[in-house]
Amino acid sequence: MNGWPVTEWTRLNEERQRRLQAAGSLARGRLVASKDVVALLERVIAPGDRVCLEGNNQKQADFLAQCLTQVDPAKVHDLHMVQSVLSLPSHLDVFENGIAKRLDFSFSGPQGARLAQLVADKRIEIGAIHTYLELFGRYFIDLTPRVALVAAHAADRQGNLYTGPNTEDTPAIVEATAFKGGIVIAQVNEIVDRLPRVDIPADWVNFVTHAPKPNYIEPLFTRDPAQISEVQVLMAMMAIKGIYAEYGVERLNHGIGFDTAAIELLLPTYAESLGLKGKICRHWALNPHPALIPAIESGFVESVHSFGSELGMEDYIAARADVFFTGADGSMRSNRAFSQTAGLYACDMFIGSTLQIDLAGNSSTATRDRIAGFGGAPNMGSDARGRRHASPAWLKAGREAARPGQMPRGRKLVVQMVETFREHMAPAFVDRLDAWDLAERADMPLPPVMIYGDDVSHVLTEEGIANLLLCHSAEEREQAIRGVAGYTAVGLGRDKAMVENLRDRGVIKRPEDLGIKRREATRDLLAARTVKDLVRWSGGLYDPPKRFRNW
């Protein structure tokens, strides 16, 4: 009507039908033999398609990634890859092989240096770096995948999928693809008659292949307590007494690393001795960190919802079903989308490490020669301005941040925890983030900041805690940061009188201001000092991967 140009309206579904038919002879029902997967991809992926390859923090659709590197670039090229994590060499091989061209992602971890080189060589066009939940949001708006290549633990003969403990991103990816005319292909470790439970209904899946090897899973969240230093113990004590107890933090997320592992291992000892059980750390958005086992066994932890699982924790989780989210089959159900949502809106605190912090408190893990991405940190390390429910921790932080004339509101606690020098004596505090250089080199519209300074509430180092909420000006903020930056150039550049004044006002707190004696910060305080201790705490239920066993 009205003479407007009319487009066709069901092209996506028609094109899906065409591709499914083209693939038809390769499949029996939904099942495709692993030897036929390269041919399958050549038939169902068209040049220029947006393809989501499931790369998670842990679980990897590694067989499908490998197959994608083997397609004929004359047939399949100019793909736009969208994926959470680039962690396998194959994830970059598809670009080197001329199959893919553009990339939107969240985290590149071990591939960060090679990624930066490929960008410099103009072999990869980066759309943007995202935080996970942001990327999932775009799957439903302007980055909807045409083809999704995912990994599940098992499938039944109808094509229902069991993702098991490492459900992770799969529901978000599959839902966006399956309901927008896309094609979903799953690699599975086994095909069974009856699944322990259905995680993804067969309706949503077009093809399933039994991969030659089980999918790769990275035990990313396992930290050996043997490697925790006494400086880290000191910092953990300050965190517990100066922040967790101070605000009464009951719901939280911990970033990955030894700093936060030390906190987890001090809950049953130091925090217990302060009478904090039941008052802090009750509800978590967290992967099943092995370092959390002693706190769980000691009754600190009421619930844990997880982004993904962790290798070796399966039996322990099943035996602690009251704490974790598990299916009727006993195995965990993780879900990165929901856990990130919980981390954003239902947690009072995010605490994590970073590589560099500038004088305004902006932090980044980007360095000149690596494009690493941020994972979940920008989401969880930001004040959720849409949050409306109150808690004592959130109200107290909000009162501290209040300015005259402003509507009262709450605030999330965002704590950046770093030693003043990281490995190779590189200072954690800098005048200017490397992110500025990277932005210039990689032609990014903004420097890739992980957490913006105005979202950070506290900076914690071995020298003390700087409470940025209490700072009234940019100058005070800078001096509060300098005041905990130790012997770095930034720390040495402090205005001593101003720093002392900030300390008098309680903006900066030293260990002694918190009643913490440095000599008490020993490894003896750790509830577990080795991986073997963790196994013992678990009653033998935790089964660490080989690389973490030295017995």
Question: What residues from 115 to 144 belong to the interface with a second copy (CB under 8 A)?
Answer: 127-131, 133-134, 136-138, 140-144
What phi and psi, each to the nearest 5 degrees, are found at residue 71?
A: -70, 160
- Closest contact distance (angstroms) between CB of 528 and a second copy is 10
Q: Does 275 bind a second copy (CB under 8 A)?
A: no
Report the C-alpha gap between 206 and 544 in whole angstroms. Answer: 35
Is position 480 an interface residue for a second copy (rule: CB under 8 A)? no
The stretch among 23-31, 36-44, 194-202, 464-472 that binds a second copy (CB under 8 A) is 194-202
Q: Whole-angstrom Cα distance, residue 103 to residue 100?
A: 8
Name the residue nearer to a second copy (CB basis): 127 or 493.
Answer: 127
Q: How far is CA 95 from CA 99, 117, 121, 340, in A?
A: 6, 12, 11, 29
Q: Can residue 339 be called a binding residue for a second copy (CB under 8 A)?
A: yes
CB of 159 to a second copy, least distance (A): 11
DSSP label at 29? T
Among 21, 227, 303, 522, binds a second copy (CB under 8 A): 303
Indicate whether 375 belongs to the interface with a second copy (CB under 8 A): no
Q: Smallest distance from the beta carbon of 34 to a second copy, in angstroms?
A: 25
Stretch that binds a second copy, among 53-61, 117-125, 317-325, 504-512 (CB under 8 A): 317-325
CA 72 to CA 329: how far, in whole Å? Answer: 42
Cβ-contact 65, 97 below 8 angstroms: no
- Toward a second copy, which CB reaches closer, 361 or 511? 361
DSSP string, 243-307: IIHHHT--EEEE-SSHHHHHHHHHIIIIIHHTT-TTTS--EEE----GGGHHHHHTT--SEEE-S
39-68 mask for a second copy (x: CB under 8 A)?
------------------------------
User: Which one of 319-327, 462-470, 493-501, 509-517 is the stretch in contact with a second copy (CB under 8 A)?
Assistant: 319-327
Of the residues 197, 210, 279, 441, which one makes contact with a second copy according to CB under 8 A: 197
C-alpha triplet 425, 431, 435: angle, nearest 5°: 85
Site for a second copy in 4-23 (CB under 8 A): 4-13
Phi and psi dihedrals of 372, rounded to 5? -95, -25
Question: Among residues 24, 74, 275, 406, which is the contact residue for a second copy, using CB under 8 A?
Answer: 406
Q: Restricting to residues 408-447, which ones interact with a second copy according to CB under 8 A?
A: 408-410, 445-447
Q: Contacts with a second copy: how many residues (CB under 8 A)?
A: 114
Please list, in sequence order, all residues whose beta carbon lies within 8 angstroms of the beta carbon of residue 54, skipping any fewer than 6 positions away: 60, 61, 64, 83, 84, 148, 149, 150, 151, 169, 170, 173
DSSP 8-state assignment for residue 408: P
- Shortest Å, Cβ 195 to a second copy: 8
CB 510, min distance to a second copy, A: 28
| Residue 322 interacts with a second copy (CB under 8 A): yes or no | yes
Q: In this chain, which of 285, 401, 459, 525 binds a second copy, going by CB under 8 A?
A: 285
Q: In the chain, what is the straight-line distance between the N-terminal and C-terminal CA atoms, in Å?
A: 77
